[in-house]
Chain A
Amino acid sequence: MRKSGLIYLVIILLLASFSEVYGQGHPARRGRNVRENMFVLRTLRMTQALDLTEAQTAAIFPELNRAEKEKAQLQADLAREIRELRQLINNEKVEDREFEDRVAKILDLREKIKRRESEFEKFLFTQLTSAQKARYIIFDIDFNRGMMERMGRARLAGKENK
């Protein structure tokens, strides 16, 4: 099997363990959601943008999956905390202490997400060549921008359908 074919087979096998990554403790849903799809697309594009070798893929993907699992859970927890905070904000009966606790929790979650992301990127960079590191920076910027633009189009489509 050719190198690129093997890489993509590896990708599929690793990503097929989605149910394990997202199933445990992740919010209930049917089918794939935005987070999952972004992860798959980002992984596919990153593999191509960095031109990862088989050895690199084998080294990076387990940690990539682990990091994604943890970050997905943290993001879900953060979203839930923010949702609850929105409901609390206009409630005059809530004590200052409650607000302090909520805010502290949210800041803590954000810090944990940043830390985990930073840990993964440090690990990733130990596996990459200098050129690959440079390509990763550019890939990251382009991907984030692409996602926001894609979201803008999705919101427009939603407005037009209403």
Chain B
Amino acid sequence: MMKADEERQLIELACRGEVEAFMQLVREHEHRILQLTYNLTRNREDAADLTQETFLQAFRAIKDFKGNSSFLTWLHRIAVNLSLNFLKKHRRERNYLEDIDSLEEKGRGEELAEAGGIPSVEDSWLSQELRTNLEKALEELPLAFRTTFSLVVQEGMSHKQAAELLGCSENTVSWRMHEARKMLKKKLQPFLSIE
């Protein structure tokens, strides 16, 4: 892992247009950014494209990096913005109103009743089914929920950090996490209970 001093020097060189210096920064962070864009898009090819785009934009804007956050955080922000714009444009998510309607149809009472039963992942087949269906459920989450969930759970961001990246309040992040978890549980209930 690169030391802070070394990173600072490379950033200064990159600000002067030195491509090789910037490429060293790229090599340091490319895996992390690819993982982030993959977590958001759930598509390898798109993640690769967005990773490249992230670094292209970072190079063009590097003179504006003032060092108030870490370089990785700054890259994160670029990657999240690009990924969100990409996802919104390509509309891969389902309409979230449909999701909300389908939840409301069933009603809370039924949902609470279904919450009974002791979840278990002792059975390896059940675990694999859970894993597969969790991926599917995450992909089916509406964009706002999926992004928020991905940043908070998979990227390990605090609500405050996620709110800053997404341009919303912490309260909104908090509610989205709650709603996302409810939706995930609903979709994954068959794989969480034992007969």
Contacts and interface: CB of A to CB of B under 8 A. Distances in A.
A155 interface: no
> In which size bucket is the chain A interface?
under 10
Contacts of A49: 169, 171
B168 A45 contact: no
Interface of B is mostly: loop
A48 B170 CA distance: 12
A143 B169 contact: yes
A41 B161 CA distance: 22
Range, interface on chain B: under 10
A89 to B, nearest CB: 32
A30 to B, nearest CB: 24
Interface stretch (A3-11, A105-113, A146-154): A146-154
Nearest to A148: B167
A100 interface: no
A101 interface: no
Nearest to A143: B169
B167 A153 contact: yes
B162 to A, nearest CB: 13
Contacts of B167: 146, 149-150, 153
Contacts of A143: 169
Contacts of A92: none
Interface of A: 45, 48-49, 142-143, 146, 149-150, 153
Given A49-B171, A149-B167, 12 more contacts: A45-B169, A45-B171, A48-B171, A49-B169, A142-B169, A142-B170, A143-B169, A146-B167, A146-B168, A146-B169, A150-B167, A153-B167
